Amino acid sequence: MLILSHNDITTLAKGAFQGLRNLRGLILEGNQIKILHPLAFHGLRALPTLDLNNQKLEHVAPRAFYGLRSLTMLFISGNQLKSLDDAVFSGLKELQIL
């Protein structure tokens, strides 16, 4: 598990977590991320838990969660989302908790 909570992170570059393909949890809660770019989590195929609670998220790119085949829990509460594209959650076939 990688815990990066409350670090004032404002952006995640494409492939920011490249090489961490066996990561079992990514906790980013309480940062300052405003936009999730396409492929921000690319390469995290085994990731079951992603916590993006309490950011400043306004927009999530349609392919931001692309490749998260094992994601079962996605936490995105406490954000400032104005809308979500229909394709944002496509491909998240294992998602159980949103």
Q: What pLDDT is stored for residue 24 in this prediction?
A: 96
Give me the CATH number covering residue 48: 3.80.10.10
Is pTM, for the whole model, over 0.95? Answer: no
- Greatest Cα pair distance in the chain: 32
Q: What pLDDT is stored for residue 97 in this prediction?
A: 95
User: Which is it for the CA torsion 15, 52, 28, 9, positive or negative?
Assistant: positive
Give how many domains the chain has, as a whole number. Answer: 1
Domain that holds residue 76: 1-98
Q: What pLDDT is stored for residue 62 in this prediction?
A: 84
* Full pLDDT tens readout for the chain, 98 residues: 999 999 999 988 888 898 999 999 999 999 999 888 888 898 899 999 999 999 999 888 888 898 899 999 999 999 999 888 888 888 899 999 99
